[in-house]
Amino acid sequence: MYMAAKFPIGISARHLHLSQANLEVLFGLGHQLTQDKPLSQPGQFSCAETVAVYGPKGSFPKMRVLGPIRQHTQVEISRSDAFMLGLDPPVRDSGELTGSPGARLVGPCGEVLLLEGVIVAHRHLHIHPKQAEELGFTDKGLISVRLEGPRALVFERVLVRINPNFALDLHLDTDEANAAGAKTGDLVTLVP
């Protein structure tokens, strides 16, 4: 059964999630996110809003905001992006922000100085509980997957995230995807 398990890849470019309080500082009191297009995970979406993100050495003038609103503001970047900003963020699961570096966020109506919240997202598999049970996966467990092709690669230490609202999707950042020549929709195979 393990060798037959295949998962589609979703490539995650740099982006940020905002708290309502920070959204209102950046875009104005009472502002609501403007949905641009849906993402692979149900209820998640790309927004029309972008924010300038500044680190000690560089910046990204238009980083895309993803919705919906989160409890805490979080900036997700690749290791290459971190070099551009002059930051050294840890590899973390979404929401694990303690001890991570901060950044300055600038929107059309104001700016926010984050004391922490910049991470390199841990590569992870979104999976529904029923599928996870069939494969013997546990939430926050680690698996390995193989991508075939000219730049074939095994991704180890893939974090399993189980939730009844998840659609099956392996999230890689742009550095990871580029290293393997991967595209959104490519399939990886579970390594037993």
pLDDT of residue 2: 42
Global pTM value: 0.93
pLDDT the model gives residue 1: 39
> CATH 2.40.40.20 occupies which residues in the chain?
2-10+123-191
| Nearest in space to 66 (alpha carbons), one of 34, 94, 97 | 34
What's 2-10+123-191's CATH class?
mainly beta
Per-residue model confidence as pLDDT tens digits over 123-181: 999 999 999 999 999 999 999 999 999 999 999 999 999 999 999 999 999 999 999 99
Give dist(CA 187, CA 146) in Å, integer.
9
Is pLDDT of 190 > 60? Answer: yes
Locate 122 and state its tokens: 């841990």
- pLDDT surpasses 70 at 3: no
What's the angle, vertex CA 103, arms to CA 100 and CA 107, rounded to 5? 140
For the stretch 7-62, pLDDT in tens is: 999 999 999 999 999 999 999 999 999 999 999 999 999 999 999 999 999 999 99
Residue type, 101: P
Give the pLDDT band of residue 192 (cuts 50, 70, 90).
confident
pLDDT digits (tens, 9 = 90+) for 68-110: 999 999 999 999 999 999 999 999 999 999 999 999 999 999 9
3-class secondary-structure state, position 71: coil
Of 158, 138, 154, residue with least CA distance to 146: 154
> Which tokens belong to 176?
């990871």
